[in-house]
Chain A
Amino acid sequence: MKHLDEYRDSETARRLAASIHREANTGRRYRLMEFCGGHTHAIFRYGLEDLLPANIETVHGPGCPVCVLPTGRLDMAIRLARRDGVILASYGDMLRVPGSKGQSLMKAKADGADIRMVYSTTDALKLADANPDREVIFFAIGFETTTPPTALAIEAAARAELGNFSVFCNHVLTPSAIAAILEAPAVRELDAVEIDGFLGPAHVSVVIGSQPYEFFAEEYRKPVAIAGFEPIDVLQSILMLVRQLNEGRAEVENQYIRAVTRDGNLRAKQVVSRVFELRRDFEWRGLGHIPYSALRLKDTYAAFDAERRFDEPYIPTEGNKACACPAILRGAKKPNDCRLFGRACTPETPIGSCMVSSEGACAAYYSYGRMRERAS
């Protein structure tokens, strides 16, 4: 892990922080949205705000796959898990996310539902192979990063004629979410989110490349700096955005050159397009219904689509009204603006998904940064 050390080096951090202080124009504010929960997490885990001038504000974006899943989709997973003969294979992050009526996968598990925590789609396939008399459903969530492994698992299951394996697909698309945020202010005046620039996704961009962001940069005049998840990456990207804004540029710049190319990973994109197609509509927590913003299995793979196989309907449901997760996911509010934050809603007693997920903004504030609230 020598490789990582250079991206966490304190000397480099100090040097970059000094450049940001020197170059940031004191006469203006810089509202920079980090799209990914991974960035939010890095900012708080390393205390990066302590190194930034006061006129640079980090705005936390919706890039947390657990957070953006609406309650209705989680309810579907719980209903699937409670069916007789089903094993639901899920990433651990999902287990404590609150569904409607105080339900969660963790509670369903305690009630006797067979829910297994897995670390990869391969684990889910193995479960299906080892339990031929059970239906194994993989609870697939995530942005473009986790989609290719799900697609590969579906192809592998088809090849092996693994008839008891299916996928509850909740894969969503990053560019759609960015577009929704950029277009939101016009629609919702009160909720307007002013953003001057974006820290672009790290891992997602490894797959989709930097090219998809060129449209946002040009159309909305917002600079983008694709940023890695290490503290040095974040600081360097902030400096890149400050420079673009100072010079009146709105371009896509790539800080994460060690992993991201303009075109991304073609093989990964190919496997995804073999297995998945766009959904006409998908509801996001916080961002509402966004057309063509998520994926579903193609008809060829319908047999592996848990929604169709078990005829499980989506029933939209409202979360707790006091929970500010939706506004937080749009960047319109900060976690400590929510009156539930740290009181009714804590990582032990989460009310919104943003407090549960390790990528959620509320969890990052609470676990790493809540001394900041106390001080103010």
Chain B
Amino acid sequence: MNFASHAPRVATRRLDIVDGRVDLTHGAGGRAMQQLIAEIFHPAFDNPMLARGNDQAAFDVPAGRMVMSTDSFVVSPLFFPGGDIGSLAVHGTVNDVAMSGARPLYLSAGFVIEEGFPLAELQRIARSMGEAASAAGVAVVTGDTKVVERGKADRLFINTAGIGIVPPGVDISGDRARPGDTILISGSMGDHGVAIMAHRASLEFETTIVSDSAALNGLVADMVAAVPTVRVLRDPTRGGLAATLNEICDQSSVGMRLDEAAIPIRPEVLGACELLGLDPMNVANEGKLVAIAPAEDAARLLGVLRRHPLGRDAMMIGEVITDPARFVRMTTRIGGERIVDWLAGEQLPRIC
């Protein structure tokens, strides 16, 4: 059922947020569902489009090129150091939209909730989404909730979709990398994946690693305003930096050469990866981006990145090269050479 909510005609008791749980009536289309939407989601996402109570959001379309993206979130655990499934669901889609150079405008949010899910947690997650959206300057303008029987979903899944508008003169796409271009990243790699893994009940070691989950649209806006020649932007989420760079090599039919010593990885992340047998190059990030720009603009782009709080640790990590085999090669810290490959199989399930 859609997020349209109308004030109940009959005065009902308010939801018991402290001890209450979601039950099947909350997804049945009746008053209970209306109440859930009115008392949890509307206050959290508070905006005039949602408040009109329709099954869809209506808005005027600005002139120019629009982009749209969607992503589903099944992260486990729902709450982790540095964020939760709600903020992650906002950041993930905002970033996917922003990686086209676009300014994200509106989001939709779909919730699949398992029967018995505590209302207090649902409220906490909805509020976190609302806060993340308002911090990123986007609005959740339409949504949907479904409740499924116990055991048919694991607690809570969220889908978000987003649309945004691309500033004139910006043309960013994974197939635009050219030999000679410079590859930059906005900061340290692997923080999100390791934060989630370390927090999972089955891994009993304590770390101070916090997810980097963040909305990157502000950083992207600065980048494309100052250096509109940026050719490729992508956030290295699942599969990590390795997967992202290999995707770009395939799309652009190029190879890459990286310098391992230039890739920032926090010592705690490196340590946890050693313990878990992971390669930080394959571990997910949720608040970092890869940028590829013509070499002559790279220094300026690096300056823009480093002036923004989310790009403070930005680095130039390598260059795009001609390579029919489309390999991502890396000069290792000790001076040898290796390939940075896609990850085979599933390394870290349900990290986003």
Within 8 A of A (CB), among B305-352: 325, 327, 329, 331-339, 341, 344-345
B55 located at the interface, meaning its Cβ lies under 8 Å from any Cβ of chain A in the complex: no
CA distance A1 to B344 in the complex (A): 27
Question: Known: A1-B267, A4-B274, A347-B344. Is A371-B337 also a contact (CB below 8 A)?
Answer: yes
Question: Known: A119-B203, A347-B344. Is A10-B261 also a contact (CB below 8 A)?
Answer: yes
Select which of A9, A231, A371 is within 8 A of B339 by beta carbon: A371
Residues in A whose Cβ lies below 8 Å from that of B169: none
- Contact at B274–A47, with CB atoms within 8 Å? no
A111 located at the interface, meaning its Cβ lies under 8 Å from any Cβ of chain B in the complex: no
A215 located at the interface, meaning its Cβ lies under 8 Å from any Cβ of chain B in the complex: no
Return the chain B residue nearest A235 by Cβ. Answer: B334
- Contact at B341–A366, with CB atoms within 8 Å? yes
B48 located at the interface, meaning its Cβ lies under 8 Å from any Cβ of chain A in the complex: no
**Which of A48-56, A60-68, A204-212 lies on the face that meets chain B?**
A48-56
Question: Known: A118-B202, A348-B344, A368-B341. Is A51-B325 also a contact (CB below 8 A)?
Answer: no
Residues in A whose Cβ lies below 8 Å from that of B341: 347, 366-368
CB distance from B255 to the nearest CB of A (A): 9
- Contact at B335–A14, with CB atoms within 8 Å? yes
- Contact at A2–B267, with CB atoms within 8 Å? yes
- Contact at A47–B338, with CB atoms within 8 Å? yes
Select which of A9, A51, A119 is within 8 A of B336 by beta carbon: A51
Residues in A whose Cβ lies below 8 Å from that of B202: 118-119, 123
- Contact at A371–B332, with CB atoms within 8 Å? no
Within 8 A of B (CB), among A62-99: 95-96
Return the chain B residue nearest A364 by Cβ. Answer: B338
Within 8 A of A (CB), among B236-283: 261, 267-268, 270-271, 274, 276-277, 279
Residues in B whose Cβ lies below 8 Å from that of A358: 277
- Contact at B338–A8, with CB atoms within 8 Å? no
Question: Known: A1-B274, A119-B202, A358-B277. Is A13-B344 also a contact (CB below 8 A)?
Answer: no
Return the chain A residue nearest B242 by Cβ. Answer: A367
A165 located at the interface, meaning its Cβ lies under 8 Å from any Cβ of chain B in the complex: no
- Contact at A1–B271, with CB atoms within 8 Å? yes
CA distance A232 to B335 in the complex (A): 12
- Contact at B335–A50, with CB atoms within 8 Å? yes
- Contact at A4–B338, with CB atoms within 8 Å? no
- Contact at B270–A367, with CB atoms within 8 Å? no
CA distance A149 to B332 in the complex (A): 34
Residues in B whose Cβ lies below 8 Å from that of A347: 341, 344-345
A264 located at the interface, meaning its Cβ lies under 8 Å from any Cβ of chain B in the complex: no
- Contact at B274–A370, with CB atoms within 8 Å? no
Residues in B whose Cβ lies below 8 Å from that of A50: 335-337
A188 located at the interface, meaning its Cβ lies under 8 Å from any Cβ of chain B in the complex: no
| Residue picked from B274, B279, B345, most chain A C-beta under 10 Å | B345
A44 located at the interface, meaning its Cβ lies under 8 Å from any Cβ of chain B in the complex: yes
A45 located at the interface, meaning its Cβ lies under 8 Å from any Cβ of chain B in the complex: yes
Within 8 A of A (CB), among B205-226: none
- Contact at A49–B335, with CB atoms within 8 Å? no
- Contact at B345–A47, with CB atoms within 8 Å? no
CB distance from B233 to the nearest CB of A (A): 27
- Contact at B270–A47, with CB atoms within 8 Å? no
- Contact at A45–B338, with CB atoms within 8 Å? yes
CB distance from A158 to the nearest CB of B (A): 23
- Contact at A370–B339, with CB atoms within 8 Å? yes
CA distance A123 to B274 in the complex (A): 19
CA distance A44 to B333 in the complex (A): 13
A321 located at the interface, meaning its Cβ lies under 8 Å from any Cβ of chain B in the complex: no
Residues in A whose Cβ lies below 8 Å from that of B268: 1
Return the chain A residue nearest B338 by Cβ. Answer: A368
CA distance A51 to B336 in the complex (A): 6
Residues in B whose Cβ lies below 8 Å from that of A47: 331-332, 334-338
CB distance from A260 to the nearest CB of B (A): 18
1/0 contact string of B163-203 vs chain A (CB within 8 Å): 00000000000000000000000000000000000000011
CA distance A371 to B325 in the complex (A): 8
A258 located at the interface, meaning its Cβ lies under 8 Å from any Cβ of chain B in the complex: no
Residues in A whose Cβ lies below 8 Å from that of B338: 44-47, 368-369
A374 located at the interface, meaning its Cβ lies under 8 Å from any Cβ of chain B in the complex: yes
CB distance from A222 to the nearest CB of B (A): 27
Return the chain A residue nearest B260 by Cβ. Answer: A46
1/0 contact string of A26-56 vs chain B (CB within 8 Å): 0000000000000000001111111100000
- Contact at B267–A45, with CB atoms within 8 Å? no
CB distance from A246 to the nearest CB of B (A): 24
Residues in B whose Cβ lies below 8 Å from that of A13: 334-335
Return the chain A residue nearest B276 by Cβ. Answer: A119
- Contact at B333–A374, with CB atoms within 8 Å? no
Question: Known: A1-B270, A119-B202. Is A46-B345 also a contact (CB below 8 A)?
Answer: no
- Contact at A367–B339, with CB atoms within 8 Å? yes
- Contact at A368–B339, with CB atoms within 8 Å? yes
CA distance A347 to B242 in the complex (A): 15
Question: Known: A10-B261, A347-B344. Is A4-B332 also a contact (CB below 8 A)?
Answer: no
CA distance A316 to B1 in the complex (A): 56
Question: Known: A118-B202, A119-B202, A119-B203. Is A10-B337 also a contact (CB below 8 A)?
Answer: no
Residues in B whose Cβ lies below 8 Å from that of A1: 267-268, 270-271, 274
Residues in A whose Cβ lies below 8 Å from that of B344: 96, 346-348, 363, 367
Return the chain B residue nearest A375 by Cβ. Answer: B325
Question: Known: A4-B274, A368-B341, A374-B325. Is A51-B335 also a contact (CB below 8 A)?
Answer: yes
With A44-B338, A47-B336 known, 20 other A-B pairs at CB within 8 A are A1-B267, A1-B274, A2-B267, A10-B333, A10-B334, A13-B335, A45-B279, A46-B338, A50-B337, A51-B336, A96-B344, A119-B202, A231-B332, A367-B339, A369-B338, A369-B339, A371-B325, A371-B327, A371-B329, A371-B337
Nearest 3 pairs of A and B residues by beta carbon: A47-B336, A347-B344, A13-B334
Residues of B within 8 A of A (CB): 202-203, 261, 267-268, 270-271, 274, 276-277, 279, 325, 327, 329, 331-339, 341, 344-345
24 A-B contacts, Cβ less than 8 Å apart? A1-B268, A1-B274, A2-B267, A10-B261, A10-B333, A10-B334, A14-B335, A17-B335, A44-B338, A45-B279, A95-B345, A119-B202, A231-B332, A347-B341, A347-B344, A348-B345, A363-B344, A366-B341, A367-B339, A367-B344, A368-B338, A369-B339, A371-B339, A374-B327
